[in-house]
Structure 1
Amino acid sequence: MLENYYKKVIQYDLINKFSYTHLDEIPKLKKIILNFGCKNSDIKNLASALFSLELITTNQGSLVKSKRSNILLKIRKGNPVGCVVVLKKEKMYNFCFKLISKVFPSLKDFKGIKISKKLGITSFSFTLKDLISFKELEKQFYLFINLPPLNIILVTNSKTREELIYLLHSFKIPLI
């Protein structure tokens, strides 16, 4: 649905706004990366975070292991410290549509996502703290009480910041 909107409307808007010589130069959404970073390697927190990611995305997630040890955080090298899911193609557009149409409107006191000064050229990231707004997690909310904030990264192939911001506005992502 959102993919069709991109192909029929957003691509033509981008062509009219910016000048491109090839179709490959038109910015598009390449992938969405969702990850939880758990502060401690408690297996219960990691399991609930991984399970919630799989429920939200209907895609299998994977654990992220630490590359080096950290004495202050009491993490050994090779211990699991988080989980990640990478969405591409149709699942990416379905998740983006769910985020825009269901999750953002149900968040309390949500005015939009702030654009930071250190915004990248090809990716845009933000954090969601209130995860009960996902309908999949609402049914078993007692399992997902102590979830860490969810980091969402939208990766594009845009060449400039203006293209990235225009693409995000075209997808109706609420930016302030």
Structure 2
Amino acid sequence: MAEMQLDGYTPRMRKHYDEVVRPKLIEEFGYKNPMQVPAIDKVVINMGVGESTADSKKASVAAGDLALIAGQAPVITRARKAISTFKVREGMPLGCMVTLRKTRMYEFVDRLVTIALPRVRDFRGLNPKSFDGRGNYALGIKEHIVFPEINYDRAEQIWGMDVIIATTAKTDDEARALLRHLNFPFRQ
């Protein structure tokens, strides 16, 4: 699987996948074709900013923080239709999201597993049941300040974020094995 690298640079997590995880998965599931081995396809990070109904600048501040975390400019998500009970008008900014692929995706997953998740307060492991039935995994982080890119003292507000890891696995068991071999800390 050749992908464009920056001057021969390969992310640490990608090397780990190629050298360690892939052979383990082939041994575990008995794949005949190397293209059958599941891999991470993309990572989508979503930050909902519900308080932006009162102050529309909060979505752009959240987008700035998400850009620091992801290393890529996010898209500001807007309301599709007006909902009067929530004081939401059509086109109002409600949050931001970013889709990571290839090198940035592996860098983010590496930072998520090795730095951010161990910094979460009262962390007891990821829920092994948060798969969607097609091999995709979703997790929520309550505080975005667990990432080292965010300066705790300068953070105006603490937002939660959703991280969706889309894999090429056909079943949840294959995806669970892939993420476990990539050192995701699942609960027992």
What secondary structure, in the 3-state scheme, does the structure 2 residue paired with 1:72 have? helix
CA distance in 1, matches of 2:180, 2:30: 18
- Tell me the amino acid that sits aligned with residue 109 of structure 1: D
Change (3 A) 1:120 1:37: farther
CA distance in 2, matches of 1:109, 1:89: 31
CA distance in 1, matches of 2:156, 2:134: 35
In the alignment, does 2:38 pair up with 1:27?
yes
* Structure 1: unaligned runs, 5 residues or longer: none
- Tell me the amino acid that sits aligned with residue 69 of structure 2: I
1:20-57 deviations in Å (ceiling 9; x for gaps): 23322211001111111121332231122101001111
Aligned match of 2:127 = 114
Q: Which of these residues, 66, 75, 88, is aligned with residue 75 of structure 1?
A: 88
RMSD over aligned Cα atoms:
1.7
What secondary structure, in the 3-state scheme, does the structure 2 residue paired with 1:151 have? strand
In the alignment, does 2:155 pair up with 1:144?
yes
Q: Taking CA–CA contacts closer than 8 Å with sequence separation of 6 or more, which of the two structures ends up with the larger relative contact order?
A: 1
CA distance in 2, matches of 1:148, 1:136: 14
Instruction: State the 1:2 CA deviation.
Output: 0.6
What secondary structure, in the 3-state scheme, does the structure 2 residue paired with 1:135 have? coil
Q: TM-score, normalised by structure 1?
A: 0.91
Contact 1:49 1:147 (8 Å CA) reproduced: no
In the alignment, does 2:61 pair up with 1:44?
no
Change (3 A) 1:117 1:83: closer
- Tell me the amino acid that sits aligned with residue 74 of structure 1: K
Q: Which of these residues, 151, 155, 160, is aligned with residue 171 of structure 2?
A: 160
Instruction: State the 1:163 CA deviation.
Output: 0.3
Instruction: State the 1:61 CA deviation.
Output: 0.8
Q: TM-score, normalised by structure 2?
A: 0.85
Aligned match of 1:17 = 28
CA distance in 2, matches of 1:16, 1:118: 23
Stretch of structure 1 that moved more, 93-102 or 17-26: 17-26
